[in-house]
Amino acid sequence: MEETEFSRAARLAHLRGEGLAKGDPVPLPLTMASIYHLPGDPVGFRQYGRTDNPTIEALENALGFLEGAEAIAFPSGMGAISAALFALSRAGDRVLLPSDGYYTTRLVADRFLKAFGVAVDMRPTVSFADGGFAGYRMIYVETPSNPMLDVCDLAAVARDAHAAGALVVADNTTMTPYGQRPLDLGADIVVAADTKAPNGHSDVLFGHVSTRDAKTAEAIRAWRKLAGGIPGPFEAWLVHRGLETLEVRFDRMCASAGMLAQRIAAHPAVSSVRYPGLPGDPSHNLARTQMSRFGFLIGLTLESEGAAERFIGGCPLIQPATSFGGVHTSAERRARWGDAVAPGFVRLSIGCEPAEDLWKAIEASLDALAD
């Protein structure tokens, strides 16, 4: 599509329309196919479902348009993250991961990457650049980190990592391309779980890798083709449908979270709140410079495990569930998974319900903790 004065969100809705012939369906058709009509010379045609599918291609086109990069789809966020880790590192390389990021990323590196002779080090997100990046092949960041919402300076990390000859991978799951653009800030690769806000309806696992470097994209595609981690067309179709409303959902979720974080922080039952949009939050100053929204995740600490469970269980507009980014507000006590957080720490994912209803329900559930 040509450059115009319109935003990506506006143009996304018309991406597919540009390529249509008269009589074509306007919405994206779902093509369930493992084989294609392929007589004679196969070069230049769709060949087989592990490499080619028009529904997946349309979704990659839309994701790539949002990222301003080439996007490669995977059946889960971890499928995308594993592709970046395994396709781009070799025995003898050193990889640096956040010690406070998504738990499974650390686990896959620790259990499997190490076994192939890749050294894996970890640092907290808040002091990620301390110690420099000399000797690393890959610097992997997650900002804001999940679940504590600490941030690191993406542009500074990218600059220093590149000076040290390392590749920079950023997990942008919590922000989506509408809230933060790591590739514009210098990262080489974005990985993301579209399971979360991009799909948005909590009915699909999905992920993608995006990059502006053709060689990197080719390596990731080859990994997917050979290892076989290709998503199903139906899941791709659902994510494509979800993406069409991501901007409006994300806008509502972030706006509600900003309002609710302030009110939750002022409630006497709450010991502390983490939200990058709160002026007093340790992440705030940096978040303002590199994020265009402050996100829809709020971390709140209540006095005990029991108080946190009663808060979640007593609120009719909160789904007790792991994961985040759905249309329904959800929450969980992260210590139940062993995260290094207080027993009463709750990760709250704000959904699309009307914000004042959410506050009414949250306030009542917090008030009840004093009884």
Ligand X SMILES: *Cc1c(COP(=O)(O)O)cnc(C)c1O
Report the interface residues with ligand X, using CB under 6 A.
76-78, 81, 102, 142, 146, 171, 173-174, 193, 195-196, 205, 207
Q: At its nearest, how many Å lie between ligand X and the CB of residue 220? A: 16
DSSP 8-state code for residue 121? E
Q: Which residue number is nearest to ligand X in terms of Cβ?
A: 77
Buried b (16+ CB within 10 A) or exposed e, 181-196: bbbebbbbbbbbbbbb
Between residues 81 and 270, which has the closer beta carbon with respect to ligand X? 81
147 vs 273: CA distance, rounded Å: 12
- Return the number of the residue (205 or 315) whose C-beta is nearest ligand X: 205
Residue 67: CB minimum distance to ligand X, A? 16
Cβ proximity of 239 and 198 under 8 Å? yes
CB of 239 to ligand X, least distance (A): 11
Comparing CB distances to ligand X, the nearer of 56 and 369 is 56
Q: Is 172 helix (H, G, I), strand (E, B) or coil?
A: coil
* Closest to ligand X by CB, 74 or 136: 74
Tell me if 82 sits within 8 A of 214, measured CB to CB: no
- C-beta of 196: minimal distance to ligand X in Å? 6
C-alpha span between 208 and 206 (Å, rounded): 7
The distance of closest approach from Cβ of residue 47 to ligand X in the complex, given in angstroms and rounded to an integer, is 27
Please state the φ and ψ torsions of residue 211, each to the nearest 5 degrees. -160, 155
Q: Is 366 helix (H, G, I), strand (E, B) or coil?
A: helix
Of 195 and 365, the one with the shorter C-beta distance to ligand X is: 195
Query: What is the C-alpha separation between 113 and 190, in angstroms, rounded?
Result: 19
Question: CA triplet 195, 204, 287: central angle to 5 degrees?
Answer: 15
Tokens of 248: 């409006």
Give Cα 185 to chain centroid, integer Å: 16
**Number of C-beta neighbours around residue 32 at 10 A:** 11
3-class secondary-structure state, position 202: coil
* Closest to ligand X by CB, 76 or 89: 76
Q: How far is the CB of 332 from ligand X (least distance, A)?
A: 12
Of 15 and 109, which has the nearer Cβ to ligand X?
109
DSSP state of 191: E
CB of 142 to ligand X, least distance (A): 6
Tell me the closest approach of the beta carbon of residue 327 to ligand X, in angstroms: 17
> Measuring CA to CA, which residue among 227, 200, 226 is closest to residue 352?
200
Cα 276 to Cα 255: distance, rounded to the nearest angstrom? 13
Return the number of the residue (120 or 355) whose C-beta is nearest ligand X.
120
